[in-house]
Amino acid sequence: MKTALSLFSGRKIILIFGLALSAQLVTAQPVDLAILPQPKEISFKGPAFTMHGRVNIVVGSAAEDKFAAEDLAEFIRRELGVEAVVSARSGGASIVLKRTGKDKTLGAEGYRVSVSAEKFEIAAPAAAGLFYGVQTAKQLFRKNGAEVLVNGLEIRDWPDTKQRAAHYDTKHHQDTKEYVKRFIRELAGYKMNMLIWEWEDKFEYPSHPEIGAPGAFTMQEMQELTRYARQYHVQIVPLVQGLGHVGFILKWPQFAHLREIPASNFEFCPLKEGSYSLLMDLWKDAMEATPGSSFIHIGSDETYELGACAQCAGKVKEIGRSGLFHHFLGKSTRMLRPYGRGVMNWEAPMGWAKSRLSVYHGDQKETGFKVVPEKGMVLTESYDYETPDLKYAREAKALGYPVYAYDPNPGIEMLFLPYFFSKNKDVKEPGALENSYKFLIANLGRGVFDGVIRTSWDDSGLPMQAWMLCFATTAAYSWNVKGPSLQEFPSLFYRNRYGGQAAGVDSLYFMLNEAAYFYMESFERRVWHWGEIGKTHLPDLPRGDALEYDPFWNTEYADRLKEAEIYLEKMNAAIAICNRLIASSVNNVYDIEVFKTLCQLAQNTALTYIDLSQIEYAVRQAHRQRFVSYDTSFHYLQKAEQIVKNNLERRKTVFNELCAVWERTRLPKGMSTPGKQYFFEQERTRHFASRVPGMNYLIYDEEKLGLESYLEQLQEYMAFFSNRFLNQSKTN
């Protein structure tokens, strides 16, 4: 008896079948496979393949194929508890990895998986395809008592998009080498094949070692990571910013003469030869650190100051800002060409003809100068003027410029990403998942874009674990544009990443999306980028013999207090979910541990509002008792004092626990070493995560409230009150 099902839409895979295996009857049961990315073609048929105590992984002599076999064997041993031996010959239960002849449909990255009671075969025309077949195979196993089963099936699968890139932004944090390796493995498991790594100062740059932060990756470490990634068919592309976003370089006094504006370290002057000499030093270091990579990314976006210096202003009158921008990009590309790498940048298809720089500078004056970009540049920037038929991408490609689709930026929200909804002036809008889904299915698989890039901007200092759903989304639809529906995908991701028993993960993610806006809208977190949002004042301190005070706080902040009470309940529930998931040891449990610290951070924000309310109420009670009972009045002052002390202690505990959890996979932010002092200087974007050198950017707004000073002043008044009334009362 068998049930066969062919899937081309990528919807949920359900199989109900009864099989006789090893003289035992396997009862009919639903099998819900959570494969990411979902294969192009899959059909279920015949009995299952079973493993008991041992399985052979049979593979040929090619080193890349042996690596794929060892990767599968290690997974089987670790996750399934079955002895797996890589061998050149089959015997007993065997999984066979083999190369096939060329297949026009499968190409270099496609593969076949064939499973029956007698065989488990993974076949592909090339090493990459065989490796990706293994990544799919790892998602097919299921336990049934003492047995490990893989359902009888046939899979044919291949990617819709050639280059599937994750942008890894580490401008405001540095992960450990061990975490970077894990991240590479996770991306490879999702079949992403490019890691565009924006280092900023997280690389030592041997030519100018002062630029690298204390603890930055050395040349040897980066080469090690590059070779490690290559084993997993992931190409590391170094991104070292060129024109803008160069505060990590130009903050140093010895390079300040290369600034476009003396007061800002954000941007190089594109007309100074020294700019190119310095950048070429850094770019050559980057290329040496990433042996075998085909590209280098020179960034160069957000050029707010372009054309500001006197010399550049004159040049702008001649060739326009877009001309000056491409003067820099073109010269840089020509300088890099002898090194044999494609040069990526943050320019958009036909951006030079569409006045794209007006987003930074307003309407551009026409100069009559025709901008002709340097041939071969790889265009990776986002843009909002494309047509449904991809007119501008096609036009740029026809002119000889490779183009990458820029999966929409999910946002720079604090605390967590707006996966399910975003907010714009209290109006809810579609979230990052919907935006990404619609963009990817509309634009990929049409033979236009050479690749796709998923950015992960580090502006708000989110933990990497918060980004994994983003990476998985891009991976899923860049591989199979006809993958699961928008409604089905989150559940598929949760089951794939955390296992089938991770109840409540969906609620946790949604509550974190909600909490992000509560956290952002609290205190002065948004002041730099959102204009006038008002200051959060502390309750009035008592004063004078009569214990006077101004009872304004609970009236003025009633709305925030109401929100705080709502989110305290939500975060209590979210923390309970985290505790339950951690106790049940779900897959990737470290994600949940990190998310718990985010919940505690939002919980502390809510409790701080409630504390401020209770402080005012305590002072009010002290005031009311002033002419009734000195002791009772002082008791309420002590209550206010204890609320402040508890708040400060709780904030410290929450922050320390967060640092302890996060720093299991990253270095302490802004740290110094015995041999090197960290040099901190802000730049014009004033990112949330770079307001201060350390991790306390997450609690900086609570620190700015001034509760420490408030406590001192309250205690001074309490000493006055005690000496004035309590001591006098005892004397009398």
Preceding amide of 430 cis, omega within 30: no
Residue 50 φ/ψ region, left for φ over 0, alpha for ψ in the -120 to 50 degree band, beta for the rest: beta
Residue found by looking up tokens 């399910």 in the block: 420
Handedness of CA 386, 390, 391, 397 (dihedral sign): positive
User: What pLDDT shows up at residue 89?
Assistant: 86
User: Per-residue pLDDT tens for 326-352?
Assistant: 999 999 999 999 999 999 999 999 999
Out of 130, 157, 184, pick the residue that ends a domain: 157
The stretches of 13-102 forming alpha helices (DSSP H) are 63-75
Pair of tokens at residue 411: 């946002």
Task: Report the distance separating Cα 572 and Cα 365, nearest Å.
Answer: 55
Residue found by looking up tokens 């969906």 in the block: 506
Mean pLDDT across the stretch 186-190? 99
Flag whether pLDDT at 4 surpasses 90: no
- Is the residue at 684 inside a domain? no
* Residue 138 per-residue DSSP state: T
Where b means 16+ CB within 10 Å and e means fewer, 422-441 reads: bbeeeeeeebbbbbbbebbe
**Number of folded domains that form the chain:** 3
User: What pLDDT shows up at residue 146?
Assistant: 83
User: Per-residue pLDDT tens for 285-320?
Assistant: 999 999 999 999 999 999 999 999 999 999 999 999
User: Per-residue pLDDT tens for 79-130?
Assistant: 999 999 999 888 788 999 999 999 999 999 999 999 999 899 999 999 999 9
Q: In terms of domains, do 147 and 184 share one?
A: no
Q: Which of 27-36, 53-62, 225-234 has the lowest mean pLDDT?
A: 27-36
- Is the residue at 675 inside a domain? no
Flag whether pLDDT at 661 surpasses 50: yes
Where b means 16+ CB within 10 Å and e means fewer, 545-561 reads: eebebeeebeeebeebb
- Is the residue at 691 inside a domain? no
φ, ψ of residue 229 to 5 degrees: the values are -60, -40
Mean pLDDT across the stretch 7-29? 31
Out of 125, 157, 189, pick the residue that ends a domain: 157
Supply the range of the domain harboring residue 139.
6-157
Q: In terms of domains, do 471 and 518 share one?
A: no
User: Per-residue pLDDT tens for 529-557?
Assistant: 666 777 899 999 999 999 999 999 999 99
- Is the residue at 495 inside a domain? no
Q: In terms of domains, do 461 and 534 share one?
A: no
Altogether, the residues listed in the chain come to a count of 732
User: What pLDDT shows up at residue 424?
Assistant: 87
Q: Is 93 helix (H, G, I), strand (E, B) or coil?
A: coil
Out of 157, 172, 188, pick the residue that ends a domain: 157
**Do 466 and 417 contact (CB within 8 A), yes or no?**
yes
- Is the residue at 502 inside a domain? no
Task: Report the distance separating Cα 202 and Cα 377, nearest Å.
Answer: 26
Task: Report the distance separating Cα 385 and Cα 388, nearest Å.
Answer: 10
Share the mean pLDDT of the chain. 93
Mean pLDDT across the stretch 497-501? 92
Q: In terms of domains, do 541 and 642 share one?
A: yes
- Evaluate if pTM is beyond 0.85: yes
Choose between 730 and 458: higher pLDDT. Answer: 458
Residue found by looking up tokens 């609290």 in the block: 522
Task: Report the distance separating Cα 576 and Cα 561, nearest Å.
Answer: 23
Q: In terms of domains, do 325 and 427 share one?
A: yes
User: What pLDDT shows up at residue 254?
Assistant: 98
Flag whether pLDDT at 5 surpasses 50: no
**CATH code for position 113:** 3.30.379.10
Binned at pLDDT 50, 70 and 90, residue 730 comes out as: low
Mean pLDDT across the stretch 661-684? 97
Task: Report the distance separating Cα 309 and Cα 640, nearest Å.
Answer: 55
Nearest in space to 230 (alpha carbons), one of 292, 178, 281: 292
Task: Report the distance separating Cα 36 and Cα 191, nearest Å.
Answer: 9
Binned at pLDDT 50, 70 and 90, residue 16 comes out as: very low
φ, ψ of residue 409 to 5 degrees: the values are -55, 125
Q: In terms of domains, do 322 and 450 share one?
A: yes
Q: In terms of domains, do 206 and 152 share one?
A: no
Q: Is 405 helix (H, G, I), strand (E, B) or coil?
A: strand
**CATH code for position 351:** 3.20.20.80
- Is the residue at 443 inside a domain? yes
Q: In terms of domains, do 153 and 169 share one?
A: no
Pair of tokens at residue 406: 């820029």
User: What pLDDT shows up at residue 732?
Assistant: 57
Q: In terms of domains, do 569 and 707 share one?
A: yes
User: What pLDDT shows up at residue 546?
Assistant: 96
* Residue 1 per-residue DSSP state: -
Task: Report the distance separating Cα 310 and Cα 287, nearest Å.
Answer: 34
Binned at pLDDT 50, 70 and 90, residue 198 comes out as: very high
User: What pLDDT shows up at residue 28?
Assistant: 30
Q: In terms of domains, do 147 and 185 share one?
A: no
User: What pLDDT shows up at residue 445?
Assistant: 96
Q: Which of 6-15, 221-230, 447-456 has the lowest mean pLDDT?
A: 6-15
Share of the chain above pLDDT 70, in %: 94
Q: In terms of domains, do 208 and 115 share one?
A: no
User: How many other CB atoms sit within 10 Å of the CB of residue 275?
Assistant: 26
- Is the residue at 506 inside a domain? no
| Beta strands 451-454 and 404-407, pairing class | parallel
- Is the residue at 31 inside a domain? yes
**Do 602 and 415 contact (CB within 8 A), yes or no?**
yes
Q: In terms of domains, do 440 and 528 share one?
A: no
User: How many other CB atoms sit within 10 Å of the CB of residue 215?
Assistant: 17
User: What pLDDT shows up at residue 52?
Assistant: 87
Nearest in space to 328 (alpha carbons), one of 301, 355, 291: 301
Pair of tokens at residue 288: 């040496």
